[in-house]
Amino acid sequence: MIFSVLGRYFFTRYVVTVAWFLFGVMSIIYLIDFSEVIGDISAEAGQGMTDAMVITLLRLPYILQQTIPFIALFAAMVALIALNRRNELVVTRAAGISVWQFILPFVVGATLLGAASVLALNPLASWTQKKAMGLEAVGRGQDHTVPWLRQQTDGQDTIIGGRGIAENGTELLQAVVIYFGDEGQLTKRQDAKRAVLDNGWWTLYDVTEVEVGELSTHKDEVRVKTNLDEDFVQQNLVQPDLVSFFALPRQIELARRFGMSTKALETQYNYLLSLPFLLVAMTLIAATVCLKFSRFAQSPAVILGGILSGFLLYVTSVLVKAFGSSGVLSPLLSAWIPVVVAMALGLTILLHQEDG
């Protein structure tokens, strides 16, 4: 069916509908997010309208990937309703083509959309979101968003943190290094524009240094010895949803090597693997409420039921994913159970509607 003229026509209709939804959702996200970003930029740090536009554009792929399941649901519903209103599905059924044949192009389209989201959109969102966080850190307030890292090297006890990360965690933006004495008392603080980790050293740039009882001094560059491994730092600083699909297996292996919990990373990896099947489940849900012929319009109650069902599936998958990340459920089960259950329900309803 997918390679026939009719199959290609249905597939084209689905792709066009998805493209329009992507354009519309991206426009709405950009406008709403821009209004939020413009209020957070710092004029004192030299940021302006252009910086807000760039930050919003960089944040767009990360936010867009959260909406992909709903785009798949609404695109399938709109495409099927449009075909129904023009009697094209009626003619298709009259020609002896079953629902399982003409729904196949939509299932293939949903699978390809999911694959594109995992293989292309996710790595892009991972890269652009980290860049956006770096630009946002320039104008951010005093609250630190990067966890503090403690290091002890050559008898010197220090902690280091920052307001943003770049280069997968090996570069801290608006970095702060605090030194402690032998008895745990604070002895010195260094504030740097950025700190770069390389070969056992933190290199601090544009540093303001303050020692207890002394006036502050400025230094162009300061090197701080560290026993922290680059992989260890990356593992601690980078959030699981900011790790690209292709880098997740290595991050999981690193976490195991350092004796850290891999639940969140494994859950994210399995969630991305299951995403194409989640979109197929969304398409089946759309089919259950949009295939019944109506001369003038589909029943609003039926359409609302389909939307609520898709929303419930998405919320359930996110909730169960949180259980997997926290270790309450197995990462494998938390990612796949909602998808399998939703697909089984969708197929069961279609079988009941079409085959009795």
Residue 255 domain-assigned (yes or no):
no
Q: How many residues can be counted in the chain?
A: 356
When divided into structural domains, the chain yields a total of 2
Q: Per-residue confidence at 141, pLDDT binned at 50, 70, 90?
A: very low
Q: Which residue has the higher pLDDT, 101 or 278?
A: 278
**Is there a contact between 310 and 69 (Cβ–Cβ < 8 Å)?**
yes
Considering the domain architecture, whether residues 131 and 270 belong to the same structural domain is answered as yes
Domain boundary among 206, 228, 250: 228
Q: Residue 175: helix, strand or coil by DSSP?
A: strand
Residue 144 domain-assigned (yes or no):
no
Q: Per-residue confidence at 24, pLDDT binned at 50, 70, 90?
A: very high
Considering the domain architecture, whether residues 278 and 205 belong to the same structural domain is answered as no
Considering the domain architecture, whether residues 161 and 124 belong to the same structural domain is answered as no
Residue 233 domain-assigned (yes or no):
no
Say if residue 317's pLDDT is above 80: yes
Domain boundary among 204, 228, 252: 228
Pairwise CA distance, residues 74 & 97, whole Å? 24
Considering the domain architecture, whether residues 108 and 222 belong to the same structural domain is answered as no
Considering the domain architecture, whether residues 11 and 118 belong to the same structural domain is answered as yes
What are residue 273's phi and psi, to 5 degrees? -65, -35
Give me the domain span that covers residue 297. Answer: 5-139+261-355
Domain boundary among 228, 246, 273: 228
* 185-219 residue pLDDT tens: 888 898 888 888 888 888 999 999 988 878 888 98
Pairwise CA distance, residues 244 & 119, whole Å? 9
Alpha helices, DSSP H only, in the chain? Answer: 5-37, 49-85, 88-94, 99-102, 104-116, 122-138, 230-237, 248-257, 263-290, 300-326, 331-355
Considering the domain architecture, whether residues 157 and 84 belong to the same structural domain is answered as no
Q: Which of 113-127, 187-201, 246-260, 299-313 has the lowest mean pLDDT?
A: 299-313
Considering the domain architecture, whether residues 132 and 278 belong to the same structural domain is answered as yes
Residue 242 domain-assigned (yes or no):
no
Considering the domain architecture, whether residues 269 and 339 belong to the same structural domain is answered as yes
